[in-house]
Structure 1
Amino acid sequence: MIAFGTYDAARHPRTAVLVDGLRAHGVKVTELNRPLGFSTAERVRMLQQPWRLPVLAARLLRCWAGLVGDMVRLRRAEGSPGAVLVGYLGHFDVLLARLLYPRSVVVLDHLVFAGDTAADRGAAGLRVRLLTGLDRLAVSCADVVVTDTEEHRLMLPDPDKGLVVLVGAPDAWRVAPARPLVEPVETAGELSVVFFGLYTPLQGAPVIAEAVRDAVAAGAALRVTMVGAGQDLPRAREILARTPGVTWHDWVEPGELPAFVAEHQVCLGIFSDTPKGLRVVPNKVYQGLAAGCVVVTSDTPPQRRALGESVELVPAADPGALAAELIRLCDPAMLAAARVRAARGRDQIRPQVVTEPLAAELRGRGAS
């Protein structure tokens, strides 16, 4: 099998989870990868702003030229693969993969719908329709379309082509053994809380900010770290301007992020009630759990289904409920019980576990 495309596993670990998991199932995976070098936000911005497209096209063609050369060399050495996995954000790469490997089983990791993501970030009209058309073209080129939730699978033009594979977390996030389940916490100590993300509407950063503000005002001893930048950051900063104990970081290098998150007791997920927010289980939920944190996130169908027994769930878009949960976790006994629940789910998000459906699909097609 070949993992193919312009994906960047350092920035977006989803493809690394799939590759590592399939290898753990005994699938030989060779990577043909020429990272494009753009973040998700940069790609979406380029698609929303047509005058930026020449930059995307030039870099994409340069990466594709390298991929074609890699393909020719590999085919001479090993022949054609049984299956080709097109990595995350492969809306364009899957077109090339279909042309280069017409007889192979093409698997598209369609973690992000371009039209849906653009709409969540404020786009509308023709741009969203064009991006939705790109989604349809991409999935039409694949034999198997991997999504992260059942809600996303049902958004496909042909849901029967879809296969749900949870996002999971790379083993790199298991930076240290989970904290002792009954580790004592000083009553007078602070509860350390971390949020990291792109501050897009689905993440609900203003909800987090209001909850932290209100919990601290009610007497909760919190030490909160907010990491990242994006459209909702100014509003979050405004809400927390007079709240003590909050530290802001614009960026943490991907290689340093697992250890950074693991230094905290609680990791926050997403809290909006936007349509996209109700359909996803974000990376940070899996990653925070893998890092040994107690994870608090919104009580949505996909999150409850995937991790409901391992994370602490609160109603979406409800800062009062989130504030109450943070206050509750300041109680050492409540925090210890939450750690027990988190530890039970930690092994269920490893690459080998979450990729079992994909490994079984490939075995069934004789393409493993």
Structure 2
Amino acid sequence: MIVAFGTYDASRHPRVGVLVAGLRAHGYTVRELDRPLGLSTAARVRMLRQPWRLPGLLVRLLRCWALLVGDVVRHRRAHGRPDAVLVGYLGHFDVVLARLLFGRTPVLLDHLVFAGDTAADRGARGVRVRLLRGLDRLAAACADVVLLDTPEHLRMLGELAPRRARRGLVVPVGAPAQWFDAAPAAVRDPARDGGPLRVVFFGLFTPLQGADVLADALAGALPRAAEDAEHGGRALAVTLVGSGQDLPAARERLRGTPGIAWRDWVEPADLPALVAAHDVCLGIFSATPKGLRVVPNKVFQGLAAGCVVVTSDTEPQRRLLGGHLELVPPADPGALADRLLALRDADALTAAHARAAAGRDLARPAAVVEPLVRLLDARGVRP
């Protein structure tokens, strides 16, 4: 039996839900001891970057931990000691408590986000970044296995904490079942139904996402598509979902641009259906160090939802899913605009859909956890 433990929120951060579902698909019994902290990734990072906010984080954390301690005591009475403990995403603090509560039981930390790296990507500098890197090292020290999503992050763990490097294991992000369930039964062909090519972007408007690149690309592509539509060509309709530090600049850049619908928020339960109603899902487009190291959630989720996925041509994305994605050079708005305009062609879109469909199964929970299943088996932890 495996215990999934922490203050994670699988509705906001689906990665831990993917791991749990994948392990269950391989026959493991997984019991969740989870008391969600109720903070988004952005809110947690903001608290860590702004020290005066930390008391609020500490109060929330201690309340959740008090409940978790009671949960562990009751679970131990009813089921005994687990074979392993999986600490959910954003578990930098939770892994410390897990180490204290579960003793010699193997602790697996899903370290999808490095606190120091994320803060630096969002503009933090100096002592705060050094402190957060210290937090990353502490978290890795408390874990027997550190789960990372790309080999680039595995190398980063080795640079950050050389003595912990052998504890790292690459497990891709994947997508929850709801995204697969949302996919349409048949691929829509806008060239035949007379509608526009429907494109969606969702996420935080941060440097990692390349919101400035996206805005510049749409500012170029949408007027050209609108002009083509006046002469019988295919239009573009773009839905932009989310908020973040670069949203005001993106809105200003796209002011007056035709064909855009803005959505500040979509409930997590409603997001798969919204994305699946589009032809193209957009990934990330920055050339920041972090942007070159990740394969984001939305790439897996877009494939699962039956969309064509357009994203940046980076080593981790190309290595894992390259044959199934529409790749454009990072930080190149002209190339992104040209690719979106090209996908209005019926044959090009059909071929892109076929490539995407061939890669959907790579995003399923049972597939992405296979490296973890092999590690657990080697350690004697079996269903």
TM-score (norm: length of structure 1): 0.98
Residues 1:22 and 2:36 aligned together: no
Pairwise CA RMSD: 1.3
Preserved contact between residue 13 and residue 89 of structure 2 (Cα < 8 Å): yes
Q: Which residue pairs with 1:358 in the alignment?
A: 372
SS in 1 for 2:192: coil
Match of 2:351 in 1: 337
- Deviation track 1:126-179 (CA, whole Å, cap 9, x = no partner) reads 000000000000001000000001000111123221100000000011134455
SS of the residue 2:225 aligns to: coil
Give the partner amino acid of 2:359: G
CA displacement at 1:367 relative to structure 2: 2.3
Please say if residues 225 and 236 of structure 2, whose CA atoms lie closer than 8 Å, have aligned partners that are also in contact. no
Counterparts in 2 of 1:92 and 1:173: CA distance versus 1, 3 Å: same
Matches within 5 A, 1:116-265: 116-156=117-157, 157=161, 158-178=164-184, 180=186, 183=189, 185-186=191-192, 189-219=195-225, 221-265=235-279
Deviation, structure 1 residue 212 = 1.2
TM-score by length of 2: 0.94
Whether 1:287 aligns to 2:301 is: yes
Q: Which amino acid aligns with 1:226?
A: L
What is the alpha-carbon distance in structure 2 between the residues aligned to residue 77 and residue 47 of structure 1? 37
Structure 1 CA distance for aligned equivalents of residues 177 and 185 of structure 2: 17
Corresponding position of 2:232:
none
- Unpaired segments ≥5 residues, structure 1: none
Cα pair distance change 1:359/1:286, threshold 3 Å: same
Instruction: List runs of 5+ in structure 2 lacking aligned partners.
Output: 227-234
Match of 1:320 in 2: 334
Deviating more after overlay: 17-26 vs 154-163: 154-163
1:112 aligns with 2:110: no
Tell me what 2:104 maps to. 103
- Identify the structure with the greater helix proportion: 2
Check whether the contact 2:183–2:304 (CA below 8 A) recurs between aligned residues. Answer: no
- Please give the per-residue CA displacement for 1:163-207, whole angstroms capped at 9, x wherever unaligned: 000000000111344553584623853110000011010101111
Which letter maps to 2:302?
G
Question: Are the equivalent residues in 2 in contact too, given 1:178–1:343 (CA < 8 A)?
Answer: no
Amino acid at match of 1:350: R
User: Hey, what does 2:40 align to over in structure 1?
Assistant: 39
The separation in 2 between residues aligned to 1:181 and 1:253, in whole angstroms, is 25
CA distance in 2, matches of 1:39, 1:142: 23
Pairwise CA distance, 1:238: 1.2
**1:13 & 1:177 partners in 2: Cα distance?**
18
Q: C-alpha deviations, 1:68-114, integer Å up to 9, x for none?
A: 10101111111111100000000000000001111111000000000
Matched, 1:64 2:60: no
Please give the alpha-carbon distance, in whole angstroms, between the structure 2 residues aligned to 1:29 and 1:182. 38
Contact 1:144 1:162 in 2 (8 A): yes
Q: 1:209 to 1:187 in 2, by over 3 A?
A: farther
Task: Name the CA distance, whole Å, in 1 between partners of 2:199 and 2:187.
Answer: 18
Q: How many residues align?
A: 368
SS of equivalent residue, structure 1 residue 175: helix
